[in-house]
Amino acid sequence: MPNSKTTSRSVGSRAAQVLQSASASVTAKTLAASALSQRSPSRQTGAKVEDLASRVLDSPKYNTETKSLAGSVLSQANKQR
């Protein structure tokens, strides 16, 4: 069953900025791409990105913006998984 949640405009805007940034990490860009793809209600987070987002939230090494993207991505995860 698809998730009815979608990425907000503000998170989508930040995600687009991350993708355009030369200094953003691969992890941040992966989460940003996932968040942007979820602007459509028919899309939801895949298992691999769920795992990545979970690890980001548990780690002190990531900045607030990356953790925000991780939280958004996880909020749209498959509840049955």
44-74 residue pLDDT tens: 788 899 999 999 999 999 999 999 999 999 8
Counting every residue written for the chain, the total comes to: 81
24 belongs to a structural domain: yes
Q: Mind listing the pLDDT tens digit for each residue in 5-27? A: 788 888 889 999 999 999 999 99
3 belongs to a structural domain: no
Question: What is the 8-class DSSP label of residue 8?
Answer: -
41 belongs to a structural domain: yes
Please state, as a whole number, how many other Cβ atoms lie within 10 Å of the Cβ of residue 41: 12
pLDDT on residue 46: 84
| Number of domains forming the structure of the chain | 1
**pLDDT band at 41, cuts 50/70/90?**
confident
pLDDT on residue 2: 56
pTM, whole model, 2 decimals? 0.85
81 belongs to a structural domain: no
